[in-house]
Amino acid sequence: MGSGPTEAIMATDLPLADELAAVFARASNLLLTTETATRALGLITTAARAAVPGSYGAGVTLIDALGHRRTTAATADEVERADALQYELGEGPCLSAWATRKLVRVDDIRSEPRWPQWSAAMASSALRSSLSAPLLAGDVALGAVKIYSDRTAAFDGQSEEMLVLFAAQATIFLVNVQARESASRLSNELQESMARRDLIGTAKGIMMARKGLGEEEALGVLLATARHSGKPLDEVASDIVTSALHPGR
């Protein structure tokens, strides 16, 4: 089975292959510890800028389910400004890469006709060309990774394939971090739910002992007290447990 173009580039044409492999390994290790996604993506964008010839700066745009946009791990202030203008105007190459789920290349930012407002706003910028690749997790686009150059027509087909590799790697990191954070949130929610259940169970036991009630009757008293007082059930339960532990209060 022959090697595809991506494999060929990584194996023969990419001078920083070993360095990039080390960077990706470091980022993977970060995600296994307490480091944040921003730190890992910072390693990726720094490597992208170093590996793709002609790069002036790189960054990642993250877009959530509500369409909120933010730039993270930018390697230069000019990148932050170029992205901020896209978000403000609602147009530009990295937004198009995210929306179309396709790689977008701009050979001359100042004369680019696809986003006239953004191009005009970038007239005073040192950035002259760009390359943006979507961050694709299956059918979902999480955002885009992009590189900018201070020269026109700085990127070619090989640059495009290299950036696609970086985008795929960054997506893996993002998905892993999101999965870990979701699991952590779920774990916290379960712990809180179990704590509330135990608190209510303790209060129910106190009511059963105090009033000689059955389990369902005691629960009914708790529910009625919560309804009449307008307090959550766990707060009513907490009051009962506290009064049992500290009768004088």
Give the residue carrying structure tokens 């790189």.
Answer: 58
- Look at residues 175, 179, 157, 178 and name the one whose alpha carbon lies nearest to residue 167: 175
| pLDDT on residue 45 | 84
Q: Looking at residues 202-228, what average pLDDT do you find?
A: 86
Instruction: Using pLDDT thresholds of 50, 70 and 90, give the confidence band for residue 14.
Output: very low
Instruction: Using pLDDT thresholds of 50, 70 and 90, give the confidence band for residue 7.
Output: very low
- Look at residues 75, 108, 113, 64 and name the one whose alpha carbon lies nearest to residue 91: 113
Q: Looking at residues 199-213, what average pLDDT do you find?
A: 87
Q: Above 60 in pLDDT, residue 107?
A: yes
Cα separation, 85 vs 76, in Å, equals 15
Contacts (Cβ under 8 Å, ≥6 apart) of 90 = none
Q: Looking at residues 213-223, what average pLDDT do you find?
A: 84
Cα separation, 249 vs 242, in Å, equals 8
The structure's pTM equals 0.63
Q: Above 50 in pLDDT, residue 95?
A: yes
| pLDDT on residue 13 | 44
Domain locations along the chain: 5-184, 185-245
Q: Which pair of tokens denotes residue 82? A: 């170029």
- Look at residues 113, 66, 58, 102 and name the one whose alpha carbon lies nearest to residue 82: 58
Q: SS in 3 state form for 84-97? A: HHHHHHCCCHHHHH
Q: What are the strands of the beta sheet with 129-137, ordered from one edge?
A: 69-72, 57-63, 140-149, 129-137, 104-106
- Look at residues 177, 167, 141, 168 and name the one whose alpha carbon lies nearest to residue 63: 141
CB atoms inside a 10 Å sphere around CB 21: 11
Task: Look at the domain 185-245 and name its fold.
Answer: Arc Repressor Mutant, subunit A (1.10.10)
Is the Cβ–Cβ distance between 127 and 103 less than 8 Å? no
Instruction: Read off the pLDDT of residues 146-177 as tens digits, 9 standing for 90 and up.
Output: 999 999 999 999 999 889 888 887 787 777 76
Q: Looking at residues 27-48, what average pLDDT do you find?
A: 64
Q: Above 70 in pLDDT, residue 1?
A: no
Q: Looking at residues 44-69, what average pLDDT do you find?
A: 82
Instruction: Using pLDDT thresholds of 50, 70 and 90, give the confidence band for residue 62.
Output: confident
For 5-184, the fitting CATH number among 3.30.1330.20, 3.40.50.10330, 3.30.930.10, 3.30.450.40 is 3.30.450.40
Cα separation, 162 vs 160, in Å, equals 5
